[in-house]
Amino acid sequence: MATTILKTDGLSKTYKGFKAVDGLSIEIQPKMVFGLLGPNGSGKTTTLGMLLGVIRQSSGSFSWFENGDSDENRKRIGALLETPNFYPYLTAVQNLEITAKIKDIPNPGPEIERVLKEVDLYDRKDTKFKTYSLGMKQRLAIGATLLGDPEVLVLDEPTNGLDPQGIKDIRQLIIKIGKEGKTILIASHILDEIEKVCTHCAILRKGQLIKTGTIAEIIGNEDVQLIKAHAEDLEKLRSFVNQNNAYSIYKDEGNTFIVSAAHGMKADDFNKHCFDNGIILNELGVFNETLEDQFLQIVKTS
């Protein structure tokens, strides 16, 4: 098994002078659930198109399974790039039989049964596709990508257009598949989706890579305690924090500071240090950063 699932090096795509993707370099290891996060127009779908051979890159390179960009690699990848495209008057089984034939899967019966159970549609296997809810249609599409037991799944905006229950079902399915050992590459503009589903993430903006790492690294509080604090004398509190090497002001929210404390320092330590310096805090708590907070901060300062 390859030690690196995917590596891109300066991958770029230009359309008539417009750079849709600009020098993207990322690396995905086995069993990662890797998110491409960015607003619409950030280059996510173009990137997936290049990686799957649908779009030709303008410059740069990519390699699947340490085997370059050979067409053979795609046999090891299950992909869902657009809206599920099945025959409305056929059942789930009949539609998957067609997909299995396209994928050249011999004796597909047991395989179809397996994936229908995986995506929790086995009880509706003989129901026509046109009667499915949007969430069920999307689960069947993910089931189609699982036919042939590919090593990698590539999913583009898998919860787009779904209601809250459909979104929850797809998220739980992706998490389950990831825990079973699949490597998953998922593109989304929904921050909450990436934070709840992915182990790693790359943030894109206007085709450029802004930041990449584990979700904890990107959120920025893996080894740092963030403390929300307020005092009557905010300037005295500000002065104390600025003069103490163990602390720094992470965010100034006007009448409240988010203070970053050195590794090992807790909110209780900060409270004691403030008290010892004549500062009485009338608000103190742990601040839990979200990916949304960090994403907005990254985009704002980039």
Q: Is 194 inside any structural domain?
A: yes
**Residue-level pLDDT at 115:** 97
DSSP string, 270-302: HHHHHHHTT--EEEEEE----HHHHHHHHHHH-
CATH number at residue 230: 3.30.70
Q: Is 299 inside any structural domain?
A: no
Residues in the chain: 302
Considering the domain architecture, whether residues 234 and 214 belong to the same structural domain is answered as no
CATH number at residue 142: 3.40.50.300
What's phi and psi for 119, nearest 5 deg? -100, 15
Q: Is 41 inside any structural domain?
A: yes
CA distance 65 to 183: 12
Considering the domain architecture, whether residues 211 and 276 belong to the same structural domain is answered as no
Domain boundary at 196, 219, 242, which? 219
Considering the domain architecture, whether residues 243 and 204 belong to the same structural domain is answered as no
Considering the domain architecture, whether residues 123 and 76 belong to the same structural domain is answered as yes
Considering the domain architecture, whether residues 52 and 85 belong to the same structural domain is answered as yes
Domain boundary at 200, 219, 238, which? 219
Q: 5, 104, 107: which is closest to 64 by C-alpha?
A: 5
Beta strands in 142-244 (DSSP E): 152-156, 183-188, 200-205, 208-214, 225-231
Distances (CA, A) of 165 to 172, 197, 281: 11, 16, 42
Q: Is 298 inside any structural domain?
A: no
Considering the domain architecture, whether residues 62 and 16 belong to the same structural domain is answered as yes
Considering the domain architecture, whether residues 32 and 53 belong to the same structural domain is answered as yes
Which residue in the block uniquely carries the two structure tokens 């019966």?
Answer: 109
Confidence of residue 189 (pLDDT cuts 50, 70, 90): confident
73-88 pLDDT, tens digit per residue, is: 999 999 998 777 899 9
Considering the domain architecture, whether residues 136 and 246 belong to the same structural domain is answered as no
CA distance 222 to 171: 24
Q: 189, 180, 211: which is closest to 200 by C-alpha?
A: 211
Lowest mean pLDDT among 18-27, 35-44, 260-269, 276-285: 260-269
Rg, C-alpha atoms of the chain: 24
Considering the domain architecture, whether residues 192 and 55 belong to the same structural domain is answered as yes
Q: Quick check: 262 pLDDT over 70? A: yes
**Domain range enclosing 122:** 6-219
Considering the domain architecture, whether residues 191 and 230 belong to the same structural domain is answered as no
Distances (CA, A) of 262 to 222, 274, 282: 12, 15, 22
Q: Is 110 inside any structural domain?
A: yes
Q: Is 28 inside any structural domain?
A: yes
Task: For Cα atoms 47, 143, 71, give the angle at the middle one, nearest 5 degrees.
Answer: 45
User: What are the beta bridge partners of residue 283?
Assistant: 230
Confidence of residue 26 (pLDDT cuts 50, 70, 90): very high
Q: How many domains are there within the chain?
A: 2
Considering the domain architecture, whether residues 24 and 134 belong to the same structural domain is answered as yes
Considering the domain architecture, whether residues 199 and 240 belong to the same structural domain is answered as no
207-257 pLDDT, tens digit per residue, is: 999 889 988 777 655 455 778 898 988 899 999 998 888 888 878 887 888
Domain boundary at 201, 219, 237, which? 219
Burial class for 104, CB neighbours closer than 10 Å (0-12, 13-18, 19+): exposed
Q: Kindly report the pTM of this predicted structure.
A: 0.77
Q: Are strands 183-188 and 152-156 parallel, antiparallel or unpaired?
A: parallel
Q: Is 84 inside any structural domain?
A: yes
Q: What is the mean pLDDT of residues 66-77?
A: 93
Q: Is 72 inside any structural domain?
A: yes
